């Protein structure tokens, strides 16, 4: 239910709708989502019940977005620019050669053209590194010059009921006054665990798909990888758990010895590792199911990202592209975090815009 009908948001870099779905659940109307990846259209429009615009942000003009808002709308402009340029995995690369490095500047341009009352941005914590990522501080400086009050902080996802050890940089900015994220809703005593989140799902084998839910599908393991996962203990490592003949050649190298979590199993009684675009493959991190001999399924990855159990990613099984869907899920803003951001915005609007509090 929309709490204040004149609050509306446009979601830049919307992907499959994680942020928008959370905003919508919080009570914020979603006018549109914009993304360069047209394969996100079905999931965004089906779950968020809003318009999907398949376009490169650098080609989007503020004027065309202004018309999506009603005249009396309190405008929110939100977005999570692709994080790969800022990721710790790619941080040593030459950022000037990656055009995605410039997307926050495009976000800044649209803010200046649209002049929203509220701005929301979510990204990876490494964006805070001043020497390597001055773009974030340029973004803040531009917001402040435009008259925004700016708040930002690294947020630990389990503190807000998300069953995943994800850390994200969240920024909120307002023309009205000081704004900040709501205080944590959870503590280590009651974090949502892997078992809380996915323990109810039907058992499946490697390479199998549930007959009840075609998104509950696991990647197929080779015979050797099946032996590896069978020897892996929850929270353990290949270094301690595996027979020598199962270890990879790269594990013997000094560099390989540091990647102890690959091919590992999650633990039932704690939040999962951070979901990535490759989170449905055991060779990419600690993405093994706690007790079943397989990697986590697409549905399990989605639920660990806090998507609801029935979130629709494609219309039918024959249209499911496993790798593409895994990428979509790993790239998404956790909907629960989107909901918290949305509720924080609504609380702020009640304080400053609706007369409950004077500036």
- Give residue 2's pLDDT: 42
The model carries a pTM of 0.91
Calculate the alpha carbon distances from 7 to 18, 74, 75, 118, 132 in Å.
19, 5, 6, 10, 36
pLDDT in tens, 299-332: 999 999 999 999 999 999 999 999 999 999 999 9
Q: Give the three-class secondary structure for 169.
A: strand
The token pair that represents 11 in the structure block:
């979601």
Q: Is the pLDDT of residue 92 over 70?
A: no
The token pair that represents 317 in the structure block:
């099984």
194-331 belongs to CATH 3.90.120.10: yes
The residue extents of the domains of the chain are 7-187+334-352, 194-331
Kind of pairing, strands 51-54 and 29-35? parallel
Contact in structure between 248 and 240 (CB atoms under 8 Å): no
Residue from 14, 40, 83, 209 carrying the catalytic annotation:
83
- Give residue 84's pLDDT: 53
| Of 11, 9, 16, nearest in space to 41 by CA | 16
Q: Which of 20-29, 65-74, 190-199, 258-267 has the lowest mean pLDDT?
A: 258-267
| Radius of gyration of the chain, Cα coordinates, nearest whole angstrom | 21
Calculate the alpha carbon distances from 219 to 4, 27, 42, 70, 321 in Å.
44, 36, 23, 45, 12
> Residues, the chain, total?
359
Between CA 190 and CA 64 the distance in angstroms is 45
pLDDT confidence tier of residue 97, bands split at 50, 70 and 90? very low
Range 7-187+334-352: architecture per CATH: 3-Layer(aba) Sandwich (3.40)
Q: Is 209 a catalytic residue?
A: no
DSSP calls for 10-57: EEET-TTSHHHHHHHHHT-EEEEEEES-GGGHHHHHHHH-SEEEE--G
pLDDT in tens, 343-354: 999 999 999 876
Contact in structure between 263 and 241 (CB atoms under 8 Å): no
Q: Give the three-class secondary structure for 174.
A: strand
Kind of pairing, strands 149-156 and 167-174? antiparallel
Helices 335-352, 18-26: crossing angle, 10 deg rounding: 40
Mean pLDDT for the chain?
89
In the numeric block, the tokens 């204040």 are attached to 4
Calculate the alpha carbon distances from 358 to 249, 331, 350 in Å.
65, 39, 11
- Give residue 338's pLDDT: 98
pLDDT in tens, 130-164: 666 688 999 999 999 999 999 999 999 999 999 99
The token pair that represents 193 in the structure block:
């665990």
Which residue(s) pair with 51 in the sheet? 32
The token pair that represents 270 in the structure block:
């704690």
pLDDT confidence tier of residue 166, bands split at 50, 70 and 90? very high
Decide whether 7-187+334-352 matches 194-331 in CATH topology.
no
Q: Is the pLDDT of residue 358 over 50?
A: no
């Amino acid at each position: 239910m929309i709490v204040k009908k004149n609050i509306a948001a446009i979601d830049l870099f919307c992907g499959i709708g994680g942020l928008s779905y959370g905003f919508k659940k919080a009570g914020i109307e979603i006018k549109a989502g914009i993304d360069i990846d047209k394969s996100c259209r079905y999931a965004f429009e089906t779950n968020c019940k809003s318009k999907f615009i398949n376009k490169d942000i650098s080609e989007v003009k503020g004027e065309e977005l202004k018309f999506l808002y009603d005249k009396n709308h309190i405008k929110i402009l939100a977005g999570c620019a692709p994080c790969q340029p800022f990721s710790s995995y790619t941080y040593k690369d030459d950022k000037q050669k990656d055009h995605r490095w410039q997307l926050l500047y495009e976000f800044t341009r649209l803010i200046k053209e649209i002049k929203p009352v509220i701005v929301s941005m979510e990204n990876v914590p490494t964006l805070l590194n001043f020497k390597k990522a001055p773009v974030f501080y340029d973004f803040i400086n531009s917001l402040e010059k435009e008259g925004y009050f700016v708040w930002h902080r690294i947020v630990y996802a389990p503190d807000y009921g998300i069953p995943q050890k994800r850390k994200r940089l969240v920024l909120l900015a307002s023309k009205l006054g000081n704004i900040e994220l709501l205080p944590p809703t959870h503590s280590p005593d009651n974090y949502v665990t892997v078992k809380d989140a996915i323990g109810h799902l039907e058992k499946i084998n490697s390479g199998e798909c549930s007959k009840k839910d075609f998104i509950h599908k696991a990647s197929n393991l080779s015979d050797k990888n099946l032996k590896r996962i069978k020897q892996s203990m929850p929270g353990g490592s290949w270094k301690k758990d595996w027979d020598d003949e199962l270890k990879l050649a790269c594990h013997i190298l000094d560099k390989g010895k540091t990647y102890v979590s690959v091919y590992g199993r999650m633990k039932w009684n704690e939040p999962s590792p951070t979901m990535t675009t490759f989170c449905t493959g055991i060779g990419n991190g600690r993405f093994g199911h706690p007790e079943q001999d397989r990697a986590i399924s697409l549905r399990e990855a989605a639920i660990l990202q806090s998507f609801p159990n029935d979130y629709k990613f494609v219309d039918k099984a024959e249209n499911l592209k496993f790798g593409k869907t895994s990428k979509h899920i790993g790239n998404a803003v956790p909907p629960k975090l989107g909901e918290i951001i949305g509720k924080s915005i609504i609380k702020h609007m009640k304080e400053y815009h609706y007369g409950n509090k004077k500036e």
